[in-house]
Amino acid sequence: MTSTNDIRRTFLDYFAANDHQVVPSAPLVPYNDPSLMFVNAGMVPFKNVFTGVETPPTPRAASSQKCVRAGGKHNDLDNVGYTARHLTFFEMLGNFSFGDYFKERAIELAWSLVTRDLGLAADRLTVTVYHTDDEAYDLWRKIAGLPEDRIIRIATKDNFWAMGADGPCGPSSEIFWDHGPEIAGGPPGSPEEDGDRFVEIWNLVFMQNVQEADEIVGDLPRPSIDTGMGLERIATVMQGVHNVFETDTFQAIIAASEELAQAKAEGDALGSHRVIADHLRSTSFLIADGVLPSNEGRGYVLRRIMRRAMRHAHLLGASEPLMHRLVPTLVGEMGQAYPDLPRAQALITEVLEREETRFRQTLEKGLRLLDDATANLGEGDRLSGETAFKLYDTYGFPYDLTEDALRSRGVAVDRDGFDAAMDRQKAAARAAWKGSGAAADSEIWFDIAEREGATEFTGYTSTEGEGRV
Ligand code: ATP
Ligand code: MG
Ligand code: MG
Ligand code: MG
């Protein structure tokens, strides 16, 4: 079996052999983009190069970039454990051309890697192109010899990439693997595309235009290439399995979690082990990159992921904090590729243990309250916003944790009621402060706190926005 570590190596070696400079992954906290929560694609560290603000470090580059999609515009947190292909933390393998080669070479390089070096069967691959991109369509015919019905024209934003309302943009082309008719789902563009049968493995972006206010206003003087292939997804294919959690890295973590929790990964427990394994990766890598749990911004996203995992550890019946004891396995699997991980091992262990010990003090009571409050609720019912707020305020349950806990029973949460309870509490705090006889102008701090978001609640809302912190 080809290990995930081998596949990463094969990818980087291939592009090095094809005159690309291999660059290390950037940290998960973007250094050049305060508007973005976490790095969520391989191109993020190169944004300023693509816009022309920075000169390219090299004409052609390749990387394996750590990505987190658990907040902001790209949020896959609610997909984890529910689809066979989404993780909150994953590695994006990418090759980049900064005004160097373009569409033809990019398609050649991708096709040759996938079908020759990685040896995937061509007849199980399907590609998409943007509906107006005849050039890409013809190149796939010529280079890959794909039959017409396996080059699908897509008219949606799925196949048109843009950095923002203003800036570089262009059509994209995606490569899909058919996991077989026994898996539910249909080809891209079909009504069943959201299933896990046809899984997108690689996205090739052809940056060729410039837009202003979401309208194309011209062509880039030097078109560029940005690609992203999910390492865990290609490993799933290479290892002959159908779900990212069945690949070697996850199997190792899940085996450790089974052992520590004394619970087999089957039935209801399977989902819990998977969520724990995914969240272990995202939280550990975030801590290694300097994020610490807190009540706002990035730190609150980290805390929310940690606590979701900790609820699952509790569901498995683990009697002691679990997450931090999985760190050695994670480091064993990924420490060589990411030396920052073993370097931060002691910190990661300590932060995870402290958070889990602390959350355990209220978790059980909170879950009991949740059970009582929902005893008579079923499919289609809603938990009151008051109760969700009490769970948040008294027991440290992030709003989304409560929602997640009720999802399998089809019970929703009254979001408006939750917001109203939050507002009432803020107003009460303000009134108490006024009544305390403090100087009237101290009130300005409440205004600042509300505007700047120095409250626990803001940590949550900030993840609802466009990746703003
Ligand atoms: P999907 O449509 O499956 O959600 P995407 O179109 O959002 O994927 P891109 O933004 O194109 O993904 O990212 C490039 C590649 O990164 C994808 O082709 C996929 O292989 C991988 N990828 C994206 N999101 C995830 C995720 N949450 N977990 C694992 N791999 C991912
Ligand atoms: Mg997606
Ligand atoms: Mg997609
Ligand atoms: Mg895509």
Could you tell me if the ipTM is greater than 0.90? yes
CATH number of domain containing 188: 3.30.930.10
CB atoms within 10 A of CB 461: 15
* Residue 41 domain-assigned (yes or no): yes
- Ligand 1 atom closest to the CA of 234, numbered from 1: 20
| pLDDT in the model for residue 442 | 55
Q: What is the mean pLDDT of residues 181-199?
A: 96
pTM strictly above 0.90: yes
Task: State how far the alpha carbon of 270 is from the alpha carbons of 81, 264, 355, in Å.
Answer: 9, 8, 24
Residue-wise DSSP of 153-206: EE-SGGGEEESSSSEEEEEEEEEEEE--TTSS---TTSTTTTSSSEEEEEEEEE
* Residue 440 domain-assigned (yes or no): no
Dihedral of CA atoms 78, 81, 84, 87 in degrees, nearest 10, equals 60
Q: Same structural domain for residues 86 and 111?
A: yes
253 CA distance to ligand 3 centroid (A)?
27
Q: Same structural domain for residues 215 and 153?
A: yes
* Residue 433 domain-assigned (yes or no): no
Give the pLDDT band (50/70/90) at residue 72. Answer: confident
Most informative mutation of 66, 68, 82, 86 for ligand 1 (most atoms within 8 A of CB): 86
Is any atom of ligand 1 closer than 6 Å to the C-beta of 92? yes
Is any atom of ligand 1 closer than 6 Å to the C-beta of 76? yes
| pLDDT in the model for residue 239 | 98
Q: What is the mean pLDDT of residues 292-304?
A: 95
Q: What is the mean pLDDT of residues 208-217?
A: 95
Q: Same structural domain for residues 219 and 356?
A: no
370 CA distance to ligand 3 centroid (A)?
36
Q: Same structural domain for residues 126 and 64?
A: yes
* Residue 60 domain-assigned (yes or no): yes
Is any atom of ligand 1 closer than 6 Å to the C-beta of 176? no
| pLDDT in the model for residue 454 | 40
Q: Is 430 helix (H, G, I), strand (E, B) or coil?
A: helix
Q: Is 215 helix (H, G, I), strand (E, B) or coil?
A: strand
| pLDDT in the model for residue 440 | 53
* Residue 338 domain-assigned (yes or no): yes
Question: Which of 212, 238, 264 is the endpoint of a domain?
Answer: 238
125 CA distance to ligand 3 centroid (A)?
15
Task: Work out the percent of the chain whose per-residue pLDDT is above 70.
Answer: 93
Question: Which of 416, 434, 461 is the endpoint of a domain?
Answer: 416
Q: Same structural domain for residues 213 and 289?
A: no
Give the pLDDT band (50/70/90) at residue 464. Answer: very low
Total structural domains in the chain? 2
For residue 460, is pLDDT > 50? Answer: no
Q: What is the mean pLDDT of residues 182-201?
A: 96
Give the environment of ion ligand 3: residues with CB less than 5 A.
Answer: 200
160 CA distance to ligand 3 centroid (A)?
11
| pLDDT in the model for residue 433 | 74
Q: Same structural domain for residues 150 and 17?
A: yes
Q: Same structural domain for residues 25 and 130?
A: yes
Phi then psi for residue 265, to 5 deg, are -80, 75
Q: Which domain holds residue 152?
A: 4-238
Is any atom of ligand 1 closer than 6 Å to the C-beta of 326? no
Question: Which of 196, 213, 238 is the endpoint of a domain?
Answer: 238
Q: Same structural domain for residues 175 and 214?
A: yes
| pLDDT in the model for residue 465 | 34
Q: Same structural domain for residues 41 and 184?
A: yes
Q: Same structural domain for residues 273 and 137?
A: no
| pLDDT in the model for residue 458 | 34
Is any atom of ligand 1 closer than 6 Å to the C-beta of 200? yes
Is any atom of ligand 1 closer than 6 Å to the C-beta of 233? yes
Cα separation, 22 vs 13, whole angstroms: 8
Give the pLDDT band (50/70/90) at residue 451. Answer: low
Average pLDDT value for the chain: 92
Atom 4 in ligand 1: which residue has the minimum CA distance? 86
| pLDDT in the model for residue 10 | 98
| pLDDT in the model for residue 438 | 61
pLDDT tens column, 109-163: 999 999 999 999 999 999 999 999 999 999 999 999 999 999 999 999 999 999 9
For residue 361, is pLDDT > 60? Answer: yes
* Residue 300 domain-assigned (yes or no): yes
Q: What is the mean pLDDT of residues 53-82?
A: 93
Give the pLDDT band (50/70/90) at residue 461. Answer: very low
Ligand nearest to the CA of 69: 1
Q: Same structural domain for residues 83 and 175?
A: yes
Q: Tell me, what amino acid is at 37?
A: M
377 CA distance to ligand 2 centroid (A)?
32
* Residue 320 domain-assigned (yes or no): yes
Q: Same structural domain for residues 196 and 271?
A: no
* Residue 423 domain-assigned (yes or no): no
Atom 24 in ligand 1: which residue has the minimum CA distance? 86
